[in-house]
Amino acid sequence: MSTLNAILKEIKYVPAERLEELLHYVHSLTPETKKATDLITKIMSYAGAFSDMSETDYADFLKYTRDSRSTLFDRKIEL
């Protein structure tokens, strides 16, 4: 616990313009499970985004999305 207290005491000496850099460094030391949890949280923030659409509008949206994907990604490309 004394190491944690020493780190917290030293942080107050970090210039304000370098705090963002420090945050990125601390995140780089974080276990991958924490990063995965953060990603899941970001993705789930979109849950219910289409809940106010009518069934017909949502069906049209899905059809348009499928058609667009087919047009964009299912074509032969000469390399």
pLDDT given for residue 52 in this prediction: 87
Q: How far apart are the C-alpha atoms of 49 and 62, rounded to whole Å?
A: 14
Nearest to 43 by CA among 52, 35, 51: 35
For residue range 43-53, what is the model confidence (pLDDT) as tens digits? 888 888 888 88
For residue range 5-33, what is the model confidence (pLDDT) as tens digits? 999 999 999 999 999 999 888 888 877 77
Q: Is the pLDDT of residue 1 over 80?
A: no
Is 0.75 topped by the overall pTM? no
Q: How far apart are the C-alpha atoms of 65 and 79, rounded to whole Å?
A: 27
DSSP string computed for 25-62: HHHHTS-HHHHHHHHHHHHHTTTTTTTTS-HHHHHHHH
For residue range 58-73, what is the model confidence (pLDDT) as tens digits? 999 999 999 888 888 7
